[in-house]
Amino acid sequence: MDDERRFADTLAARLEMRGFEVREAYSGAEALAAVALPTEVVVLDLCMPGMNGLEVLRELKKSTPKIQVIMLTGHIEDAEERAAYEAGAHRVMKKPFNIEELLNNIQTACPTGNS
């Protein structure tokens, strides 16, 4: 779990350095609370304590249908990836990923050009 927290912290720092407004969450419940403030794009890990990323994605899309969600995962089965897209994921990216590819996906998902 510490590795995942460090990963999230590092990713947040890299996005902030590129001008994105970032709110971090370390669990599904925290992620749902974090989007109570206006949010355009969520970068969401599939594996999280409590609710998994797919459950969080479904809840996000129920409460805020226009929110764009990019799912990250170290390992995903075809059925899970298909379920993520069916639930409304903008993109599913496998770790390790190229930060520039993630930035491009965020910019594509974000209608105002920043999140």
CA 9 – CA 11 distance, rounded (Å): 6
With bands split at pLDDT 50, 70 and 90, how would you rate the model's confidence at 3? low
Quick one: pLDDT at residue 1?
44
Domain 2-109 coded CATH 3.40.50.2300:
yes
Q: What does the domain layout of the chain look like in residue ranges?
A: 2-109
pLDDT digits (tens, 9 = 90+) for 54-107: 999 999 999 999 999 999 988 878 888 999 999 999 999 998 899 999 999 999
CB 8 within 8 A of CB 15: no
